[in-house]
Amino acid sequence: MLQNKKAVYLISGFLGSGKTSLLKQLIQLHKEDHLTPAILMNEIGRISIDSNEVDDDLPLAELLDGCICCTIQDKLESQLQELLFNETFDSILIETTGAAHPVQVIDAVMSPLFASEFEFKGIITVVDALQWTKKGEYSPQVLQLMREQIKHASLILLNKTDLVSEMNQGMIVNELQSINSKSKLILTSHSKISKQALKHMMPVPFEQVTKVRVKEELSLQAMVHTFIGKINRNDFEDWIQSIEGTVYRMKGYVPFSGEKYPMLFHYSYGMPVFFPEDMTMPKNLVIIGEGINQPKILEQLRNLEK
Ligand SMILES: Nc1nc2c(ncn2[C@@H]2O[C@H](COP(=O)(O)OP(=O)(O)OP(=O)(O)O)[C@@H](O)[C@H]2O)c(=O)[nH]1
């Protein structure tokens, strides 16, 4: 079950920064290694993508009419599931619209339905160097989104370096590193990266404890727990209240005593919600948060199963 996990790369970055250019590069790098990537594109208002950009022979799913965010997370989940059922591929390259918040996309990718199928490699954020020099013209909301995209990256591409002076490049690098000092940062033109650059994105095991980024001190964490035994619902609800740190999101299927099938469980903004299921679902619970003690949470959940 552990082998043949599909690597998932998420391409983020503001509108026009060079994400599609990067997607093409990544496809090329995969092909050189005789690997088949599946492509998941999410475009606002684009009916279909140029066939030159993604070859016809690659598995492709498109999410049109909106951005990958809370409103269409379910759709993204079903697209991923469809790809898994119907296509043969080695990895998934997800290009989000420039208006997507990366955490919400991770949230959809970290579905308990396929937690054991994927290895989330991380977010590659493309920053348009010229755009960055003019960032004073953007609204605070757009600036905030750009900062979020940079903050959560495992790899940052400072792209379009051909359009700004070396002095400006140096200044931008400093600014980006002050937002995210842990990520590897490379300067690119037309999003050209090497295989080597990808290797700096540390693989993230997805079956037990998953971190969206690698080091302990990095803020955003995601983990998966797989239930073996049944648990008491009151105990579980008490446990939710007791979790240390900030939990942004939990979702999964929880096997409660007295219930025939695991219940669908969603938690966001402090609100737990349960939905009965009428069939057996994978008993995975995904937790995404900041400053959470993952080994402790796993131990607590395991104890609840006794
Ligand atoms: N001069 C220059 N142009 C670039 C570079 N990278 C991309 N471009 C151009 O910038 C435009 C946008 O590039 P894309 O790769 O489509 O960017 P994107 O982020 O996918 O764009 P959206 O899908 O609209 O968000 C295209 O016309 C590219 O040819 C670069 O490094 N230098």
Residue with CA nearest ligand 1 atom 13: 18
For 271, the domain range is 220-304
Q: 106 with 249, same domain? A: no
Q: Is residue 130 part of a domain?
A: yes
186 C-alpha vs ligand 1 centroid, how far in Å?
17
In terms of pLDDT, which residue wins out, 25 or 50? Answer: 25
Q: Check residue 154 and give its pLDDT.
A: 86
Q: 11 with 126, same domain? A: yes
Structure tokens at 290: 């900041």
Q: 104 with 167, same domain? A: yes
Last residue of a domain, one of 199, 231, 247: 199
18 C-alpha vs ligand 1 centroid, how far in Å?
4
Q: Which ipTM score applies to this complex?
A: 0.98
Whether 120 contacts 106, CB under 8 Å: yes
Q: Check residue 66 and give its pLDDT.
A: 45
Residue with CA nearest ligand 1 atom 27: 16
- Cα separation, 260 vs 161, whole angstroms: 58
pLDDT digits (tens, 9 = 90+) for 123-153: 899 999 998 998 887 777 778 878 888 988 8
How many domains in the chain?
A: 2
Last residue of a domain, one of 170, 199, 228: 199
Q: Is 42 in the pocket of ligand 1 (CB under 6 A)?
A: no
pTM for the predicted model, two decimal places? 0.69
Tokens 């955490």 sit on residue:
103
222 C-alpha vs ligand 1 centroid, how far in Å?
31
Structure tokens at 20: 């599609």
pLDDT digits (tens, 9 = 90+) for 113-123: 777 788 778 88
Q: 16 with 81, same domain? A: yes
Q: 241 with 146, same domain? A: no
Q: Is 160 in the pocket of ligand 1 (CB under 6 A)?
A: yes
Q: What is the CATH number of the domain that holds 67?
A: 3.40.50.300
Q: Is residue 209 part of a domain?
A: no
Supply the mean pLDDT for the chain.
78
- Cα separation, 133 vs 135, whole angstroms: 6
Q: 181 with 137, same domain? A: yes
Weakest-pLDDT range from 2-11, 49-58, 167-176, 262-271: 49-58
